[in-house]
Amino acid sequence: MTDHVRIGVLGAAMIAPAAVIRPARSSTVAEVVAVAARSAERARTFADKHGIPRVHGSYEDLLADPAVDAVYNPLPNGLHGKWTLAALKAGKHVLCEKPFTANAAEASSVAAAAAASGLVVMEAFHYRYHPLAVRVDEIIRSGVLGPLRHVEASVCFPLPAFANIRYDYSLAGGAMMDAGCYAVHMARLLGGEEPSVRSARALLRTPSIDRAMRATLRFPSGHTGSVHASLWSATALKLSMKAIGENGVLSVLNPLGPHVFHRLSLRLKDRHSSETFGRRATYAYQLDAFTDAVLHGKAFPTTAEDAVRNMTVIDAIYRAAGLPLRRPTV
- List active site positions: 98
What does each C-alpha distance from 164 to 128, 173, 231 come to in angstroms? 26, 9, 11
Indicate the burial class of 8 (C-beta count within 10 angstroms; 0-12, 13-18, 19 or more).
Answer: buried
b/e 70-96 (16+ beta carbons within 10 angstroms → b) = bbbbbbbbbbbbbbbbbbbebebbbbb
CA 128 → CA 50, 259, 302, 324, distances in Å?
Answer: 26, 14, 8, 29
CA gap 62, 171 in Å, rounded: 22
Q: Are 136 and 238 in contact (CB under 8 A)?
A: no
* CB burial of residue 182 (10 Å; 0-12, 13-18, 19+): buried
C-alpha–C-alpha distance, residues 74 and 79, integer Å: 9
CA distances from 142 to 136, 139, 147, 182 (A): 10, 5, 11, 23
* Dmax (CA) of the chain: 62
